Amino acid sequence: MVAKAVDELAVCAISIFLMATRYHTMARLMEEELRLKMDLQDMGMRLHQLGAVVDAAMDLRACIAAIAELRKAITGQHFEDEHIAALGSGSPQIAEIVDAYLRLKRSLFALKIGQFPR
């Protein structure tokens, strides 16, 4: 059950990553701002709910921290009213979003693998 939930969260992470890079590299779309905030919040809530059934609490905390880092990378700057013009695909913020996404994905995989006995 946990492995399936983590796989679904990994798919959500890909969707958020693609939407965030599109949002920051194109003209501002307020609908995407709202969608990004809601999807990030939803992902965090779903991870918190796994706390009742997960065997690897340390891995779960790493995932929760990774989602917070991704949220900060996406919404910390050049978001909402600060989004005046599109960023280039090689901008430092896009690189930060990529790094945060990869850390989240690694932590999700660690959580999934941590559910299986050794």
CATH number at residue 18: 1.20.120
Tokens of 51: 């706390």
**Angstrom distance (rounded) from CA 89 to CA 61:** 31
**Angstrom distance (rounded) from CA 33 to CA 21:** 12
The model's pTM is 0.92
Query: For residue range 6-33, what is the model confidence (pLDDT) as tens digits?
Result: 999 999 999 999 999 999 999 999 999 9
Tokens of 45: 């809530």
- Burial level of 85, CB count in 10 A (0-12/13-18/19+)? exposed
Query: For residue range 51-90, what is the model confidence (pLDDT) as tens digits?
Result: 888 877 888 899 999 999 999 999 999 999 888 899 999 9
C-alpha 4 chain-centroid distance? 17
Tokens of 108: 């999700």
118: in domain:
no
> Domain residues for 34?
2-113
Number of domains in the chain: 1
**Angstrom distance (rounded) from CA 105 to CA 5:** 13
